[in-house]
Each structure stands twice: as C-alpha cells, then as structure tokens.
Amino acid sequence: MTGGYNPPLQVVGFISTKRGDAERGPAVHLRPDDAALRGIVDGTVVWIYGPRRHDLAQAIVDDTISRGGVVVRDVAGIAPTEIIRLVRVDADRPVLNPKPV
C-alpha cells in the first residue's frame, strides 16, 4: 500500500451480477471526494484491501454513495459492513526486487 493518508472505507452495499447483465465484473463505487483523496479517477484500476484478501477492481465515481462508504460489485471475499482500503494501481512505479526470470 502507499504511504499517504488513506482513511478506511465501509462497504455499504454489494452488487452481485449474473451472466447476461450489461455491467459485470469487479468494481467499486465511491464518492468523488473520497476518490480525489486517494488520487482515483473514474475508470481507474484499484486494489481493494479487505479483511481476508485483496483484489483488483475498476473504480466508478458515483455521487449517490454516502461519504466514507463504498458499494462493491462482484468482488469475492467482501461483505457489507466490512472495512476496506483502496489503493490506486501505480503501473509507472518500478517493481522493487523483481523475481529473476
């Protein structure tokens, strides 16, 4: 995780999709001010750090979400009322101690 200020967020909703739904796949909906605090813009890929595991998901900036809350879609291992942290994927940062090929 990055070293800046990154307050935790609470999962206030969960969306589970099924085959044939127009919008599918792992995503996290959050407020514009919560997104800006973390350097996240709409469509950014983020790490979701939960109590049991961490997953990649697309960030969706949504004005209807309450401050400090997120709604997750199709993310296994995350349940409503849990506390998570979001970290923007920084693809420009070099990998420290890469594994030899």
Please state the separation of Cα 62 from the chain's center in Å: 13
Q: What's the rounded mean pLDDT across residues 47-56?
A: 94
How far is C-alpha 32 from the geometric centre of its chain's CA atoms? 13
pTM summary value: 0.84
Confidence of residue 96 (pLDDT cuts 50, 70, 90): low
**Residue in the block written with tokens 């990055």:** 2
* Residue with more model confidence, 92 or 79: 79
Which CATH number applies to 9-17+24-88: 2.40.40.20, 3.90.550.10, 2.140.10.10, 2.70.98.60?
A: 2.40.40.20
pLDDT band at 1, cuts 50/70/90?
Answer: very low
* pLDDT per position as a tens digit, 65-86: 999 999 999 998 899 999 999 9
Are 88 and 35 a contacting pair, CB within 8 Å?
no
